[in-house]
Amino acid sequence: MLAQQRELQADADGVSSRRLVLVGMAGMAMAVGLPLASSWPAEALPLGPLGPVKRVGGEKLTGLGAEEVADILRRDLAVGQYFVTGDLTREIFADDCRFVDPTNDVSGLSKYLTALGVLFDPAYSKVELLGIRATGPRTVEADWRLGGYLVFPWNPKVEPFEGHTVYTLDESGLVAEQRQTWSISGATALAESFTPTFGPRRQLF
C-alpha cells in the first residue's frame, strides 16, 4: 500500500514538473508578445494583452432566433473559415462575448479577433464544418475539423483535429459565449505549438 502511495506521489510530482515547464514556455511566448496558442487540459488561460474591449462591426442584429443565428454561423464557418481568418459576422456577437477553449479564455469580441489575426496562417489552414444546428431557444452547436500552421517564427504545424462549439445566446439573441471542446488535449496542442516544422507549408486536408 505504501509503495503504491509513493508511486502515485511520484506521478503527481511528474505532472507538476511538466506543468511548470509548460507555464515557463507559455510565459516566454507572452513575454515576446505572442498570444498563447495552447496550454493544458481544463485550465484555460487568459490571452496576453490584446487591448481593451471595444465595439466592432455595424448595428447589432438583435432579435434573431437560434435557427437564424445558426444559418449565419454556417456561412461564417464553412465559407468565412473564421477560426483561422477572423472573418465572422460581427453583428451577431455581443461586444463582451466570452470565448473559451481548452487553452484560452478571453472576453471581448475585439480581443478575440485580434488573437485570431496573429495565430493561424489562413493560406495553409482550414476549417471543415461537419454540422451545425440550433439545439435550444438560446443555443447553437457546431462540429468541425481544423488543421494548419501557426504564424509563429518556428513554423509550427497543427495536425487536423475535431472540435465541438456551443454558442449561447443572450436575451437579445446575440452570441454571449462561444465555448469549444477538442478531440486533442491541451498538452498535445501545446506540444504542437512549440514544435518547429521544416520544409514548405502544405494543405493538410
pLDDT of residue 33: 40
Total-model pTM: 0.77
pLDDT of residue 19: 35
- List domains and CATH numbers for the chain: 37-193 (3.10.450.50)
What gap in Å lies between CA 187 and CA 191, rounded to an integer?
Answer: 6
What gap in Å lies between CA 39 and CA 19, rounded to an integer?
Answer: 9
58-69: pLDDT as tens digits: 999 999 999 999
pLDDT of residue 21: 36
Lookup: cell for 22: 509548460
| pLDDT(20) > 90 | no
To the nearest whole number, what is the mean pLDDT of the chain? 83
